[in-house]
Amino acid sequence: MTDPRESKGPSQFTTRVNSQAGSILTLDDPGDWERATRGKIAEHPTGAIAGPLGGIAWNTADFDFMREQEQSPDSVHPSLWRHGRLNAVHGLFEVAPGVWQCRGYDLSNITFIKGKNGWIVIDPLTTAVTAAACLELANQHLGARPVTAVLYTHSHADHYGGILGVTTREDVEAGNVRILAPEGFLREAVSENLLAGPVMNRRALYQFGILLPKGPLGHVDCGLGKTIPLAQGDLIGPTEEISLTGTELDIDGVRVVFQNTPGTEAPAEMNFLFPDHGALCIAENCTHTLHNALPFRGAQVRDTLVWSKYIQEALDIFGDRMDLVFSTHNWPRFGRDDAVKYLELQRDLYRWVHDQTLRRMNHGETQREIAEDLVLPDCFARHGHTRGYYGTIHHNAKAVYQRYIGWYDGNPANLNPHTPEASGKRYVAAMGGADAVVKQAHDAFTKGDYRWVTELLNHVVFAEPEHEGARLLQADAFEQLGYQAESGPWRDSYLTAAMELRTASNGVGANPRNITDQLDVDMLFDLVGVRLRDQDVGEASGTANWTFTDIDQTHVLGLSHCTIHHRADTTDDNADVNIASTRADLASMLRGERTIDEVIDSVDVKGDPTILRTIFSNLDMFSGRFGIVEP
């Protein structure tokens, strides 16, 4: 007898949906395969990259099932299958004379520019082990060279986390390696990956399908690349920031012209041209998919209008000087005409999402109504790079709506609804009990109405999370929706939901080691505030003058009204305590490596340290384990 907790194959309805999608899929991109394979020099010798603690961090063989079969299986949307096969191409590629990329060994691409004395590296991937493997591949086939500079295109972890695979902190501190990033990079990287890190990491398990098995019934592609490496990332802050568009620098004998593009795909991002190579790095502002205006994992809503305008600015300032455009995901576009047309279509895509969402908003349509009604026109749909393999029109329209007028649709019935648990209990009672709701859901399942099944059973699972029939039927419905999804993150989210309902798993543990000693004091104190358990500090109040001896800075840290406050470059004449320590001492407490008493005993403290004990003894630690599809 089949175990009801096992994955199921595609239903007749899913098979029909995917077959129909395949029959009408006509893409005007017959050159994509040539672009994705052009200039290939070599592959990693095994395709298996070991993790730092043993095990395998990356294995290209995980996706051999896609390389070996051109026709999509019934359990995968045919458009996503096509795109996933293109992303499965891996190796070291010559992009232009003096410019090479490694693709297919991480979610992102790493690019190597030949400088006068060494390598200029663009975006050193997510982890040190994948970055080091790619650097070794480049050195082996192109000649060994030291890394002299690193360019971070933007503040997302898959573009800087592998920094220790291409350089060391000692070389950076000694001035041997320049690290350049857009203005505001460090603050945005910290804000996105630390202040909200635990909840984002939990949600990222859904977005990227990290815990799913690879295969036709599981994870097949992320849209931007194959998957996330199984290793931890690191961070070295930039030594230089780019703030002005038009800035031109000589980096190891190579001319680079920068365009700052804040508020586009990331809050801090930049494009740049190598004029002597005719090569434009468009960062992640244009890839071979419609991108996210708001990722599932959570982030600041991105401004699709500004995004579109920055692509136009790139065309204006670089268009007549570029012979190709390459991104930090997917594959390049070769030749000026093709590159310009590609950028123009990407420009128009983000503007179209923005304008058409606003037009419908101003007719009074709600988020859900706009998302249901907005359909990608054929002028975009027939091109692979504007389809929704990562972002989708559906959830990007909701993001535009949220950016302008927020979560509230104006209907007071939605102004103060009950929690999912409280609503679930009321809905289930009103519909005659859990078994009655499950029966209705089962009837809908037999008709292929999987969206309605998941909506109905959501109430049961939140009202009675132990109801096995509801959990397993909702899992089956989520699974079919995953098989039908063109978007990699939609597929992964549905299939991860199904897996968690069947196994009652709620994520993996959080790891605070990204709280590095390099973070500025203001950022570290922001983390203190986010973690302060207000109910445990009571009415305590006080201030501390804190001198950081390693960076020659003075700060005031205070507690009042169950909240910390902080001022930089000053002291408080009435402070309760004066403490002198290093920035590393503060970071070590936030990582949980040392207690406040251990720090107090090892540094210079004058006065009453009670206020410090009150603050640092009442900081939350986040497990990274909580329910998403259940309470």
- Domain ranges, ordered by start, for the chain: 30-403, 417-503, 520-616
Taken in order 413, 416, 418, 420, the sign of the CA dihedral is positive
Interatomic CA distance for residues 300 and 316, integer angstroms: 27
Give the confidence band of 511 by pLDDT, cuts at 50, 70, 90.
Answer: low
- Work out the percent of the chain whose per-residue pLDDT is above 90: 89
CB crowding 552-580: b at 16 or more within 10 Å, else e: eebbbbbbeeeebebeeeeeeeebbbbbe
User: What DSSP element (H or E) covers 586?
Assistant: helix 583-590
Interatomic CA distance for residues 165 and 468, integer angstroms: 46
Tokens of 37: 């394979």
Interatomic CA distance for residues 132 and 138, integer angstroms: 10
AA letter at 423: S
Instruction: Tell whether the model's pLDDT for residue 579 goes beyond 90.
Output: yes
Instruction: Tell whether the model's pLDDT for residue 344 goes beyond 60.
Output: yes
Interatomic CA distance for residues 560 and 31, integer angstroms: 63
Cα dist. 357→348, 365, 399, 407 in Å?
A: 14, 9, 10, 15
Half-sphere exposure in the Cβ direction for 360 (13 Å, CA) = 21
129-168 pLDDT per residue, tens: 999 999 999 999 999 999 999 999 999 999 999 999 999 9
The Cβ of residue 24 has, within 10 Å, a number of other Cβ atoms equal to 8
The answer to whether 5 touches 360, Cβ cutoff 8 Å, is: no
* Fold match, 417-503 / 520-616: no
Instruction: Tell whether the model's pLDDT for residue 360 goes beyond 60.
Output: yes
Tokens of 524: 């570290």
AA letter at 147: V
Residue 4 or residue 273, greater confidence: 273
The answer to whether 129 touches 161, Cβ cutoff 8 Å, is: no
pLDDT at residue 54, as a whole number: 85
Taken in order 172, 176, 180, 184, the sign of the CA dihedral is positive
DSSP SS3 for 270: strand
* CATH class name, domain 417-503: mainly alpha
16-64 pLDDT per residue, tens: 999 999 888 777 677 999 999 999 999 999 999 999 888 999 999 999 9
CATH topology of domain 30-403: Metallo-beta-lactamase; Chain A (3.60.15)
Interatomic CA distance for residues 4 and 472, integer angstroms: 7
Instruction: Tell whether the model's pLDDT for residue 508 goes beyond 80.
Output: no
Largest CA distance in the chain: 77
Q: Select from 387, 342, 88 the least CA-distant residue to 220.
A: 88
Taken in order 625, 626, 629, 630, the sign of the CA dihedral is positive
The answer to whether 249 touches 239, Cβ cutoff 8 Å, is: no
Burial label, 347 (beta-carbon count in 10 A; 0-12, 13-18, 19+): buried
Radius of gyration of the chain (CA): 26
CATH code given to domain 520-616? 3.30.1050.10
The Cβ of residue 79 has, within 10 Å, a number of other Cβ atoms equal to 21
User: What DSSP element (H or E) covers 114?
Assistant: strand 110-114
Burial label, 26 (beta-carbon count in 10 A; 0-12, 13-18, 19+): exposed
pLDDT at residue 441, as a whole number: 98
Instruction: Tell whether the model's pLDDT for residue 517 goes beyond 90.
Output: no
The answer to whether 549 touches 581, Cβ cutoff 8 Å, is: yes
pLDDT at residue 28, as a whole number: 64
| List of long-range contacts for 556-561, beta carbons under 8 Å, 24+ apart | 557/525, 557/528, 557/612, 557/615, 558/611, 559/611, 559/614, 559/615
What mean pLDDT do residues 464-488 have?
A: 98
Q: Select from 301, 257, 298 the least CA-distant residue to 277.
A: 257
The Cβ of residue 117 has, within 10 Å, a number of other Cβ atoms equal to 11
